[in-house]
Amino acid sequence: MSNRFLRRLTLGLATLAGLLAAQAADAVTAPVLVVEVDSGKVLYAQGATDPWYPASITKLMTTYVALDLVRQGKVSLDSLITISAAAAAEPPSKMGFKPGTQLTLDNALKIIMVKSANDVAWAIGETLGGTIDGFADTMNETARRIGMRESRWYNPNGLPDPRQWTSARDMAVLGRALLRDFPDSHDLFSISAIQFGRSVMANHNGLLGRYAGVDGMKTGFICAGGFNVVASANRNGRRILTIVMGSPSARERDLKAADLFDYGFGQSAGWTAQTLDALPASAIGAPPDMRPYICDRKKPMPIDEGPGAIAGNADNAGAQFLGAAGLSSPALTLATLNGAAARNRTLPPRAPLQPILVWIGRDPAEGQIMLNEQAEAEKAAAAATREAKLEAAKAKREAALEAAKQKRAAAAEAKTQAKAPGKDQGKAKAAIAGAVPRAASAYTSVDVSGMPEAKHKPPTHAKPATAVTQKGGKPAVAKSVQTKPKAGAKPKPNAAKSAESADE
C-alpha cells in the first residue's frame, strides 16, 4: 500500500470523524415527558427542561388564566368576549368572526380548546386583560405562581414569537394545575368536536377517540417548534400526562404519545422517582428553530387539523437534528425513537364525533338572530358588490365608446388637415397663373407695377430713317435715296414692307 494512499485514507477518516462530531454537537433532543398526575412523579424524561416554542399549547395557559379569573369572581363564564378588529385579523386557524361579534367566555374556551381558533384566543386576551400586553403579564405572573420556571409568554394564542418559550416540564406543571384546580372543567379538554351553525369542527387532538383512556388536553404546531401535544389519559383511576414536542408530523406525534402512554401505564412510580421540581435545569440557552426540518419548501405544508394532517417524512438530516440518542428503556418501541418506524404504523379509527353546540351572543336564540342579521348583511353586501361591478363595467364600456368616438374624430380632423395644405398650394399656383398671360414666353417683357415703362429699342438690324431739318426749324420728311440696281441684278421684292414690319 503506497504512502499516498495511506495519507488519503487518513485524511478521509479524519474528515468523516469531524463531520460526525459536528453533527453530534449540533443534534437536538426533542423533548418528551411522562408524569403521574397525582404524585407528580416522573416516569420518563428526555430534554424535559429544554426551551421550546409552544405553538397552540399556549392556549392551555390562556385557559388557566381565564378560569382563575372566574374562580376569583372577576368575570364569569357568561361574560361576553368581543372580537376586535385586531383579533379578526389574526391568521388561521380561526373562526373568522366579524369585528364586533360577541360570545360568552364559556363558548370561547370551548372553541379554542377544539378549533384552536387564534382570533378567539386573541379576543379573550384583549377582553380579560384590557390589552394583549396586560394579559401576557397576567399569564407570566400566574405561571410563576403555579411553579412554571422556563416559560415566558407574550401572546395568548401561540402564534410565532421568538420571545415566547416554554418546556415539557412547565407544560406538565400547567396540565396538573388545570386538572387539580378546576375539577369542574375537565370536560373542556375532552370535547371531540364543536358545532357552530351547520359546521362541525373536530378536535385537533388525534388521540381523542383513538387511544383508550385519553381525555385531553391540547395540541399545537408552528414550523419553528414542530408538532407538540400535552395529552392526558386515565386508566383504572390512574391518570398520566404525556408531553411530546418537536415531532415532524401530527401522525408521528400521536404515535409517540401513544407509545409513551403504553410505557407509562406499565411503570410504577417508586419512592426514588424524580419529581417535576427535581428535574435539572437545561444547559440550552434558547429554543432550536425547527423550520428547516419541519417546513421544507419542497414538500406540502404540514397541518395540524382534521383528517388532512399528514405524516412527515423524517429524512436523515431531520433525524440527526432531532438527536440520535434514543430512549434507554427497551419497553419503548422504535416509533418513539424515530420517524422511519412510525411510517408504517397507525392508530385505530377515530370513534364517532359527539359535537357540542357553540354560538355567538348570550344564548342560542340570540346567536341565531345575530347569524341571520349577519347573513342578511352579507347578502346585501354581495348585492351591492355585484351592482358596483355592473356600474363599473357600464362606465368602462361608455368610456371605451367615447374614447373610440374621440379617436375617430381626431383621425378625421387629422385627415382634413393633411388635405388642407394641398388646396392652398393649388390656389397659390392658380393665382400665379392668373398673373401671367398664357401666351407669354420667356422672351416677353412684363410690365412690373411701380417700375418706369421700358422704351422699345429698334432692332439692331433695322436702320433708322435719316431726319432732314428744314430752314426755320421744321422737320423735313426724309426721302429715301433710290439707287439704281446694277445691271443684271434683280430687285428684291417687298423690301419696304419688310422694313415697316421690323419698325412696328
Task: Give the residue-averaged pLDDT of 236-244.
Answer: 96
Which region among 81-95, 197-211, 409-423 has the lowest average model confidence (pLDDT)? 409-423
Amino acid identity of residue 255, one-letter, is: L
Task: Give the residue-averaged pLDDT of 32-53.
Answer: 96
Instruction: Evaluate if residue 168 carries a pLDDT over 80.
Output: yes
Which region among 57-71, 86-100, 317-331 has the lowest average model confidence (pLDDT)? 317-331
Other CB atoms within a 10 A radius of the CB of residue 393 amount to 10
C-alpha pair distances (Å), 231 with each of 5, 171, 242, 308: 57, 10, 5, 20
Whole-number mean pLDDT of the chain? 80
Task: Give the residue-averaged pLDDT of 363-381.
Answer: 89
Instruction: Evaluate if residue 485 carries a pLDDT over 70.
Output: no
Which region among 173-177, 417-421, 432-436 has the lowest average model confidence (pLDDT)? 432-436
Task: Give the residue-averaged pLDDT of 257-276.
Answer: 92
For 393-407, write each residue's pLDDT tens digit: 999 999 999 999 999
Residue 262: pLDDT band (50, 70, 90) is very high
Answer positive or negative: Cα dihedral of 107, 112, 116, 119.
Answer: positive
Residue 270: pLDDT band (50, 70, 90) is confident
SS3 content of the chain, % helix, strand, coil (to 5): 45, 15, 40
Residue of 56, 151, 185, 247 marked active site: 56
Please give the share of the chain, as a percent, with pLDDT higher than 90: 59
Residue 275's pLDDT is 95
Instruction: Evaluate if residue 10 carries a pLDDT over 80.
Output: no
Residue (of 92, 155, 98) closest to 122 by Cα position: 155
Residue 428: pLDDT band (50, 70, 90) is low
Q: Which residue has the higher pLDDT, 446 or 243?
A: 243
Q: Is 423 a catalytic residue?
A: no
Residue 29's pLDDT is 85
Instruction: Evaluate if residue 250 carries a pLDDT over 50.
Output: yes
Q: Apex CA 168: angle with CA 167 and CA 172, to 5°?
A: 115
Please give the share of the chain, as a percent, with pLDDT higher than 70: 68
Phi, psi of 63 (to 5 degrees): -65, -40
Residue of 59, 94, 115, 218 marked active site: 59
Which region among 126-140, 342-356, 427-441 has the lowest average model confidence (pLDDT)? 427-441
Instruction: Evaluate if residue 313 carries a pLDDT over 50.
Output: no
Which region among 46-60, 147-161, 379-393 has the lowest average model confidence (pLDDT)? 379-393
Q: Which residue has the higher pLDDT, 377 or 113?
A: 113
Residue 181's pLDDT is 97
Cα gap 504→213, rounded to integer Å: 147
Cα gap 463→147, rounded to integer Å: 150
Instruction: Evaluate if residue 16 carries a pLDDT over 80.
Output: no
Which region among 72-81, 388-397, 473-482 has the lowest average model confidence (pLDDT)? 473-482
Residue 111's pLDDT is 98
Residue 231's pLDDT is 98
DSSP 189-254: G---EEEETTEEEE-S-TTTTTSTTEEEEEEEEETTTEEEEEEEEEETTEEEEEEEEEESSHHHHH
Residue 375's pLDDT is 84
Q: Which residue has the higher pLDDT, 295 or 60?
A: 60
Q: Is 328 a catalytic residue?
A: no
Which region among 139-143, 424-428, 446-450 has the lowest average model confidence (pLDDT)? 446-450
Residue 109: pLDDT band (50, 70, 90) is very high
Instruction: Evaluate if residue 252 carries a pLDDT over 70.
Output: yes
Residue 398's pLDDT is 93
Instruction: Evaluate if residue 35 carries a pLDDT over 70.
Output: yes
Which region among 115-129, 199-213, 284-298 has the lowest average model confidence (pLDDT)? 284-298
Q: Which residue has the higher pLDDT, 435 or 115?
A: 115
Cα gap 157→62, rounded to integer Å: 8
Cα gap 112→121, rounded to integer Å: 6
Instruction: Evaluate if residue 371 carries a pLDDT over 80.
Output: yes
Residue of 94, 115, 116, 167 marked active site: 116
Cα gap 88→100, rounded to integer Å: 9
Instruction: Evaluate if residue 244 carries a pLDDT over 90.
Output: yes
Cα gap 152→136, rounded to integer Å: 9
Structural contact between residues 65 and 142, judged by C-beta atoms closer than 8 angstroms: yes
Residue 406's pLDDT is 92
Q: Is 59 a catalytic residue?
A: yes
Residue 437: pLDDT band (50, 70, 90) is low
Strands 199-202, 102-104: pairing is unpaired
